[in-house]
Chains A and B, each alone.
Chain A
Amino acid sequence: MYEELLEDIAQTNGLREVNTYLKLATGLGAILLCLLSRSFVAPLYIAAVLTIAILFLARVDPKTYGELFIIPLWFGIMSVVAIILVSGGGEVYWSWNPASWFSLSVTSVSISEGFFIFCRVIGGMSALMFIALTTPMTDLFVVMKQCRIPEAVIDLAMMIYRSIFILMNQLVQTYQAQVMRLGYGSFRESIRSFAILCGSVFIASWEAGEDFIRAMDARCYSGKFVVLGENRPIEAVPALALAAFLITSSLVVVISGSTTLL
């Protein structure tokens, strides 16, 4: 029904105490290197290193981590198949030309291209997961503030963040009550129940918003939030690990050049 929030894992992960900028540099650096790479080797290398870091340093449950890949990979496979069909070049294995302007084919170059994009998605996803699983949003608000993101946006982001957890609770309770009363028995019934669920959560969230205003007014809310955040110091070991990761990954990007699968 609803999916597990990575935030819960991030709050308790093994790399929680590492400086936020180091973790962000790891993830964002890995994303950039994946996009710069012209070969499938570097994204796979990055995915392997980050997966090891996520499983052993951040101590994330391997099953949870694996399940996170299912939905994006489904979208990925569909899109990669489309790319293999439309692109061409090299040896032709299969082709279909229903019209002069439309042709589908599977060739050696298109398979290599599709495989390369697929690897880049895996590399990029693992970099994204690294940030998601090791850095709680509360730490990112501090970084956003230091990066001079407009205050209105940060305030709104914090309000949304807060309300997600309130609404999630409400939603789970209502949903369970509906399931208990066979609210999702038939398709027609489930459309009705789902609409009632969304409607009641919307009204509940509106009332939660009004309660917020009253509660904040009672505490002399002046229209601005204060973010109290301290960043942990940059320590030698994580900094060296980051440097080693970025240097070796860059080397792999350069050395692998434009190696292709076929």
Chain B
Amino acid sequence: MHVMEGFLPLQWAVFWWVVALPCLGYGVYQLKKVLEADREALPLLGVVGGFIFILSSLKLPSVTGSCSHPTGTGLSAVCFGPWITSVVCAIVLLFQSLFLAHGGLSTLGANLVSMGIVGPLIGWGIYRLLRNTKVNMYLTVFLAVALADIFTYVTTSLELALAYPAEVGGFVSSLVLFLGIFALTQVPLAVIEGIILTLVFKYIVALKPDILVRLNVFPEEKIRAAQSEA
């Protein structure tokens, strides 16, 4: 769930915009470079953005009875890297606030930092660490997706705790409370998102592995081997 409009005081809304903008700028720079190198990239990135939007407008089946939205950013970070994901995410967040009334405009900066920058960076980092090791390909995808999801919510808790520190214990005890509310309830949902996107990944490996080979997500022999098993 995104931080919605009006929740953050003005100074914090501005602060997170200031944090987000340089990352976004770097993402736009990378995007331009990719588009110049490969003119076919634009429509593909466009459908990936549409895919993230659709995914995050779906309600995930969940054990607790509450509902949550998959973030979908982990898979995009694995396929396209974290910076381009942040640009796609910025557009998706804008559309979400204007199409579905999720999130907001003044809080877009804060949401971008949690969902578009920190989450994908963590997911991508895990994937880079494990990509060339012997760790199972599906386990890598699972960890990248689930941790990207959890850290999105940890960052959201951090943003809320910074804006509203507790009277006793200040920032830390406020963070404990927000982490308890958002991040802990998110753990089972992150695991479910991890399982689902790993199954999605497996499905892509089985039916259309050339996408993954072209994006160089994993070494080709690994994908081919997985395909013959699937």
Contacts and interface: CB of A to CB of B under 8 A. Distances in A.
A165 B193 CA distance: 23
Contact of A88 (B101, B106, B168, B202): B168
B43 A209 contact: yes
Contacts of A158: 46
Main secondary structure, interface of B, reads: helix
B192 to A, nearest CB: 7
Interface in A112-158: 117, 120-125, 127-129, 131-132, 135, 137, 140, 150, 152-153, 155-158
B60 A194 contact: yes
Interface in B1-52: 1, 4-7, 9-10, 13, 28, 31-32, 35, 39-40, 42-51
Contact of B168 (A103, A209, A213): A103
A86 B175 CA distance: 10
Contacts of A88: 166-168
Contacts of B181: 78-79, 82
Contact of B50 (A87, A103, A160, A223): A160
B59 interface: yes
Contacts of A103: 166-169, 173
Interface stretch (A185-193, A226-234, A244-252): A185-193
B78 interface: no
Interface in B42-78: 42-51, 53-55, 57-61, 63
Contacts of A199: 199-200, 202-204, 207
Query: For chain B, which range describes its interface: under 10, 10 to 19, 20 to 34, or 35 or more residues?
Result: 35 or more
A196 B197 CA distance: 10
Contacts of B196: 191, 194-195, 198
A254 interface: no
Contacts of B165: 86
Given A5-B99, A131-B98, A194-B196, A35 B13 contact: yes
Contacts of B46: 156, 158-160, 162-163, 209, 212
B23 to A, nearest CB: 14
B203 A195 contact: yes
A101 B173 contact: yes
B85 interface: no
Contact of B28 (A35, A153, A213): A153
A72 to B, nearest CB: 4
B28 A124 contact: no
A253 interface: no
Nearest to B160: A79
Interface of B: 1, 4-7, 9-10, 13, 28, 31-32, 35, 39-40, 42-51, 53-55, 57-61, 63, 87-88, 91-92, 94-95, 97-102, 104-106, 160, 164-169, 172-174, 176-178, 181, 192, 195-197, 199-200, 202-204, 207-208, 211
The 6 residue pairs across chains A and B that have the minimum distance between CB atoms: A124-B6, A159-B46, A163-B50, A199-B203, A195-B199, A124-B5
29 contacts: A1-B58, A2-B58, A3-B57, A6-B98, A6-B99, A35-B106, A72-B4, A87-B164, A87-B167, A88-B168, A101-B173, A102-B176, A103-B167, A104-B177, A121-B5, A124-B106, A125-B104, A160-B46, A162-B50, A167-B54, A187-B63, A191-B196, A198-B58, A199-B199, A199-B200, A203-B203, A209-B46, A223-B35, A223-B42
Interface of A: 1-3, 5-7, 27-28, 31-32, 34-36, 43, 68-69, 71-72, 75-76, 78-79, 82-83, 85-89, 97, 101-105, 117, 120-125, 127-129, 131-132, 135, 137, 140, 150, 152-153, 155-164, 166-168, 171, 184, 187, 190-192, 194-196, 198-203, 205-206, 208-210, 212-213, 216, 223
